[in-house]
A and B are shown apart, each in its own frame.
Chain A
Amino acid sequence: QKEVEQNSGPLSVPEGAIASLNCTYSDRGSQSFFWYRQYSGKSPELIMFIYSNGDKEDGRFTAQLNKASQYVSLLIRDSQPSDSATYLCAVRIAGNMLTFGGGTRLMVKP
C-alpha cells in the first residue's frame, strides 16, 4: 500500500461545478497536509496546507482534514477551465520531508 493515495482520474466536471479531490494516507503520525497544483509541463505550486481537523477555506478552495479516517480532501467551488491541472496531495510525517501522492488529473469543461 502506498503511503499517500489518490485517484489518478481524470476527474471531469462542468464549468461552475464543485470539484472534489480526495487523498488518503497510511501513517497516523502524519502532521500536516499540502495540496499542490501542477499544470502540464510546469512545476508543482502550493495551493493550500492544513494541519488541524476540519475545514480551511481560501477563496474558491477548501481543504478538509479527517485524521481519524486518514483522509484529506480539496474542494474547488465554481470550477473554471483554468483549474484543469493535476492536483498533488502531500503529507509531512516528520521534519521537513513530504511524501506525495500520484496526483489526480482534473478536467473542467466549458
Chain B
Amino acid sequence: DAGVIQSPRHEVTEMGQEVTLRCKPISGHDYLFWYRQTMMRGLELLIYFNNNVPIDDSGMPEDRFSAKMPNASFSTLKIQPSEPRDSAVYFCASGATGISNQPQHFGDGTRLSIL
C-alpha cells in the first residue's frame, strides 16, 4: 500500500521564484495536512483539508502561501514569491475519519532551500 507521496524531494531556487510542492495522499484518506518544519519553530501546521475543502488555514504565514486540493488524490502548496526565510522541510500528511484515533501518516517531505 503506497504511503503519502510528495514531490519534489529537494528544491533549490532563487529568491523571488515561484515554488510548487505536490502531495498525493493515501487512497481513501479524507484529511490532508501541510506542515513546515524548521529547527527554530519545530513542526508547524500550515493548512488542512477535509474532503478537498480547506478547513483551517490559520497557520499559513502570509499571502505568499497558497494551497489547493482539486481532487481527493492531489494537493499543492505554492509559494510566490519565495523568500530565504521560507527555507524549511515541508511535509504533507493524510488521515482518515471513521476510525477512532486514526493517526496522520507523513510523506517523506520536500526540503526547500531559497537562495
Cα A84 to Cα B105 in complex, Å, equals 21
Interface string of A48-77 (1 = CB under 8 A from B): 010100000000000000000000000000
B contact residues, range:
20 to 34
Size of interface on A: residues with Cβ below 8 Å to B: 20
* Contact of B91 with A by CB under 8 A: yes
| Residues of B close to A49: CB separation below 8 A | 101, 103
Cα A45 to Cα B48 in complex, Å, equals 19
Cβ–Cβ contact B42 & A96, under 8 A: no
* Contact of A44 with B by CB under 8 A: yes
Cβ–Cβ contact B42 & A43, under 8 A: no
Q: Which residue of B lies closest to A101 (CB)?
A: B42
Further 18 A-B residue pairs, CB within 8 A, beyond A42-B108, A49-B103, A97-B45: A32-B101, A43-B107, A43-B109, A46-B104, A46-B105, A88-B43, A95-B55, A96-B31, A96-B50, A96-B95, A96-B97, A97-B33, A97-B48, A97-B56, A98-B45, A99-B45, A102-B42, A103-B43
